[in-house]
Each structure stands twice: as C-alpha cells, then as structure tokens.
C-alpha cells in the first residue's frame, strides 16, 4: 500500500513530539517534513533523544518545507497559524488537520473574543469539520479541514454525548435549566512546553490547584457541542484544575436528571452508543477509571454513577496528548484516507 505523505508544522511542542511518536510507528504513513522556525536545521532526535534510532528527520524552516507535496499537514502550532496557511494547502489538494483552535468555533465573534484575533479564512469554516471521530465520522471522510477538539472538550463531550443525544431524541431527560458541572483535572503537559515559573517542577509537583476559574477558552467550544447534541441550549460550569501528573485528564461531570430521566438505564444507553467505537470504553457498573489506565494510549474510559436519584455522575479519563490531541488527529487522518481507523494507535496504556 502506498504510504500517506505527512507534514507536521510546529513540531517542537508536546503535541508535535506526540505526533512523531505515533506517526513514526504508523504502518501507512510517512513523515516527509517537519517544520520549526526556531529550530530549523536541528536534528529532531537531538531535541528529543527518545526518538534516537527511530526518527531521522531535520526540522525545516516552514518556507522551505514541501508542504504542498504532502497528502495531509498537521498543525501542532499556536492558535492562528493553521488558518493562515490552510487556504493555499487546500487549494493544492492537501488536507489540513489543526490541533489548535482555528477551526473549532463556528461563531467567529466568539473566536475573536477568546483568541484576540480575526479569523483569517472565514470562508473555509464551512468546509471545516470540528469534533471527534465519535461525533463526526461521516463528515470526516470527505473533509479537507479538521478542527480537532481540545483535550478538556473531548473528555466532556464524549462523556455527555449519549445522554444528550437521548435527551434530544426522546426529550426531557436532563433538567436543562440546571447547570451541568464539569470539574476537570489535567496533567501538566496540557500547559505545553514553554518556559514558565508556575509550571516549574518545584512549583507544580506535590501541589494541586484550580485555574481559569473566571473563564477558560475551552468553554465556548464545549457549550457549542453540548447544545448541538441536546438540540437546545445547555448551561455548563467548567472548572479546570491542575494535577501534579505529566499526562491525563479526569473529568467528573454532574448532571441533574428530570423525573423521566431518573427512569433511564444509562449504563445500557452508553454501552450501546459506544459499542462499535474502537477507542471508547464504557466501564462496567461499579468500576472506576484512573488516568493511568489510558496513559500513552488513545482510549477514553467512562464510568457512570447514581448516588442520589436525581443525579448522574459521569467519570471520564483520557490522555490529553493522545485522545485529547495527537492521537485523535491521527484517528481523523485514518478516517479521511480510508485507512483502518486504529492504524498507528494500538499502543496499550503504560501501567504501572
């Protein structure tokens, strides 16, 4: 089988090296170029010695890189880069997979408010698919532009999808007037690889804190999707916290049920909805997920709890750099090119 030619823009951050880890083991993909303006000329394996003996590439300056000759280009860049290059790439038949926020928010005013920039190619938004394979598989098959869901959003959206779809279908399951609470905790790699005092090991290890309590950029993206799932406006209180772990997201989600909703067997609803999903695991009743159960793998694991009759508690774990970012992007690529969906994503979580 001819291999897909892959380019990576912005390979020096954590989602970049994670793409390298996954794609260099991918049976049907070949990385032909990786760019980094600041590190052009550096051997990738000199920056990331974990790739020695496995990845033999040199960072190229973006202007020299043969991106237009690729079949697909991943953007592991800050917000704003992908949209500045998408038009030209797509015009050359190159698919664009953005791990940042450029193609996430349909409401361009909201985009401007949260990301402090105008959108560079609003006319491309219609061609862009936002979401996860589990929510947008069909649309991904023919799409040219992918706005991959963020790490927190994936955990919350997949955690609520079956519930809100059911609410939309049969109505009046969730007490929609009550705010859904998502108390989320993330490992520190979610903060990225840039020098900062607050993310120093001496500051962040053996510690736990909330942050972004006043408002987090991921909120509008999540509300947009939940509202779509539910078919009516959904209110969400999303509080992110910082874990002293390297990887992993754990979302504890609290939903108030209506009287009708209290009669539903949610365990069955979730198991059926995700029965054919290769990377979503609905754990059996009574089991409890842990972040290490997905460490380094593309799985999401979900457990459901009912303590008080009117409450559904949903526990979700994922690896923020895999299913929450680079793994999910590779999964989208597999779908977009008609490859087996699990190709290159079969790593089992590293336990212990």
Handedness of CA 324, 192, 122, 233 (dihedral sign): positive
Chain-centre distance of CA 71, in angstroms?
Answer: 22
Count of other CB atoms within 10 angstroms of residue 210: 12
Q: In the bound complex, what is the minimum distance in angstroms from residue 196's beta carbon to its own copies? A: 5
Q: Which is nearer to its own copies, 120 or 239 (CB)?
A: 239
User: 263: buried, middle or exposed (CB in 10 Å: 19+, 13-18, 0-12)?
Assistant: exposed
Determine contact, residues 158/300, Cβ cutoff 8 Å: yes
Query: Considering only CA atoms, which of 294, 184, 179, 298 is closest in space to residue 239?
Result: 184
Q: In the bound complex, what is the minimum distance in angstroms from residue 15's beta carbon to its own copies? A: 11
| 70 part of the active site | no
Q: Is the peptide bond before 324 cis (omega within 30 degrees of 0)?
A: no
Determine contact, residues 264/286, Cβ cutoff 8 Å: no
- The residue annotated as part of the active site, out of 70, 121, 151, 201, is 151
How far apart, in whole angstroms, are the C-alpha atoms of residue 314 and residue 235?
17
Determine contact, residues 28/66, Cβ cutoff 8 Å: no
Q: In the bound complex, what is the minimum distance in angstroms from residue 340's beta carbon to its own copies? A: 15
Q: In the bound complex, what is the minimum distance in angstroms from residue 86's beta carbon to its own copies? A: 28
Q: Which is nearer to its own copies, 78 or 278 (CB)?
A: 278
**Rg (the chain; Cα; Å):** 20
Buried b / exposed e over 313-350, threshold 16 CB at 10 Å, is: ebbbbbbbbbbbbbbbbbbbbbbbeebebebbbebebe
Q: Which is nearer to its own copies, 199 or 262 (CB)?
A: 199
Q: In the bound complex, what is the minimum distance in angstroms from residue 299's beta carbon to its own copies? A: 7
Torsion angle in degrees (nearest 10) through CA of 190, 100, 280, 225: 110
Q: In the bound complex, what is the minimum distance in angstroms from residue 329's beta carbon to its own copies? A: 17
Q: In the bound complex, what is the minimum distance in angstroms from residue 137's beta carbon to its own copies? A: 18
Determine contact, residues 262/312, Cβ cutoff 8 Å: no
Q: Which is nearer to its own copies, 122 or 192 (CB)?
A: 192
C-alpha distance from residue 102 to each of 12, 28, 112, 226 (Å): 19, 27, 10, 19
Query: Considering only CA atoms, which of 120, 40, 37, 111 is closest in space to residue 85?
Result: 120
Q: Which residues are catalytic?
A: 151
């Amino acid at each position: 089988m001819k291999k897909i030619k892959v380019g990576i823009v912005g390979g020096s951050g954590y989602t970049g090296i994670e793409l390298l880890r996954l794609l260099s083991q991918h049976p049907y993909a070949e990385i032909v170029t990786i760019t980094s303006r600041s590190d052009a000329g550096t051997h990738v394996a000199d920056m990331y010695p974990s790739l020695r003996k496995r990845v033999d590439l040199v960072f190229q300056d973006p202007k020299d890189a043969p991106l237009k000759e690729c079949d697909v280009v991943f953007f592991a860049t800050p917000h704003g880069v992908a949209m500045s290059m998408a038009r030209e790439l797509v015009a050359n038949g190159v698919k664009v997979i953005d791990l940042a926020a450029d193609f996430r928010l349909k409401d361009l005013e909201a985009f401007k408010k949260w990301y402090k920039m105008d959108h560079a190619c609003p006319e491309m938004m219609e061609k862009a698919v936002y979401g996860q394979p589990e929510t947008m598989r069909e649309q991904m098959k023919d799409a040219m532009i992918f706005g991959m869901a963020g790490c927190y959003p994936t955990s919350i959206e997949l955690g609520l999808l079956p519930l809100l779809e059911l609410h939309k279908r049969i109505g009046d399951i969730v007490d929609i007037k009550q705010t859904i609470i998502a108390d989320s905790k993330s490992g520190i790699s979610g903060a990225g690889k840039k020098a900062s005092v607050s993310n120093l090991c001496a500051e962040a290890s053996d510690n736990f804190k909330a942050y972004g309590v006043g408002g987090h950029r991921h909120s509008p993206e999540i509300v947009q999707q939940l509202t779509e799932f539910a078919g009516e406006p959904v209110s969400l209180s999303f509080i992110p916290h910082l874990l002293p772990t390297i990887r992993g997201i754990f979302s504890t989600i609290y939903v108030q049920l209506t009287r009708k909703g209290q009669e539903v067997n949610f365990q069955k609803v979730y198991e059926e909805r995700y029965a054919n999903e290769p990377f979503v695991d609905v754990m059996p009743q009574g089991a409890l997920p842990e972040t290490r159960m997905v460490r380094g793998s593309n799985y999401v694991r979900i457990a459901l709890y009912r303590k008080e009759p009117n409450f559904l508690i949903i526990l979700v774990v994922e690896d923020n750099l895999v299913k929450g970012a680079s793994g999910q992007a590779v999964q989208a690529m597999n779908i977009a090119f008609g490859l087996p969906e699990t190709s290159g994503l079969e790593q089992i979580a590293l336990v212990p």
